[in-house]
Amino acid sequence: MVEIPYNVEARPDTGLYNAKLGIWLFLASEVMLFGALFSSYVLLRTGDPNFMTIPHEIAEHLGGHGESHVWSDQLNVPLAFLNTLVLIFSSVTMVMSWVSLKLEDFGKYKLWMGLTCLCALGFMVIKAIEYNAKFSHDLFPSSGNFLAIYFTMTGLHALHVIGGLIVNGYLWGPGAKMWKTEPERFTNRIEVAGLYWHFVDLVWIFLFPSLYLL
């Protein structure tokens, strides 16, 4: 079997092994994607004086929930703050799973990676509760420009969380068999998955204050 070079050792031209170079290129494209969405949000909010105002007919439908007539007051800040803490903690557990492999402690790796996956599931449960509250009051992306960009940005971020959960879940479960045959390469895979996961966390850290607090 022909081995692909630079799966473990670093490339001489970049100082990175193949997977790490690939994930940095992928994350660069992700920065452009979310950067475009954040730019659109800023332009809409600064360019439309009514961007944050709830239309009168929707405010009447909301009843007491629409007294402020401002969209941001319809968002659940405590739940979003809890989700922020969950993701920050998950970044810590992700790092600890990689450190455990570097210390050749596979048992602790399983523990820390399992906690990372549980945090991702917790984030999605909280996000589902938040979305359900909006839908129960007939608040959808079509209800206004603010909700359109809110659901687009948080929904896209949630898809990234799901993607990370799938990858991390695989590396926690069946993918962990590689540890027995290629421990260094498996450790590199966890590092690459960690870089993606930290990016997902970082995006939320920008989303939370931009949408919920400002």
Q: Amino acid letter at 180?
A: K
Domain residue limits, the chain = 18-213
Q: Amino acid letter at 65?
A: H
Mean pLDDT value across the chain:
91
Q: What is the pLDDT of residue 84?
A: 97
Model confidence at 65: pLDDT above 90: no
Tens of pLDDT, residue by residue over 121-153, are 999 999 999 999 999 988 899 888 899 999 999
pTM assigned to the model: 0.91
DSSP structure string for 138-177: T--GGG-HHHHHHHHHHHHHHHHHHHHHHHHHHHHTGGGG
DSSP 7: S
Confidence tier at 33 by pLDDT (50, 70, 90): very high
| CATH number belonging to domain 18-213 | 1.20.120.80
Other CB atoms within a 10 A radius of the CB of residue 66 amount to 19
Q: What is the pLDDT of residue 17?
A: 80
Rg (CA), the chain: 21
Q: Which of 8-12, 21-25, 187-191 bottoms out in mean pLDDT, i.e. has the lowest?
A: 8-12
Tens of pLDDT, residue by residue over 84-133, are 999 999 999 999 999 999 999 999 999 999 999 999 999 999 999 999 99
- CA 33, 87, 211, 58 torsion-angle sign: positive
Q: Amino acid letter at 11?
A: R
Bridge partners for 53 per DSSP: 70
Of 32, 35, 8, 3, the closest CA to residue 19 belongs to 8
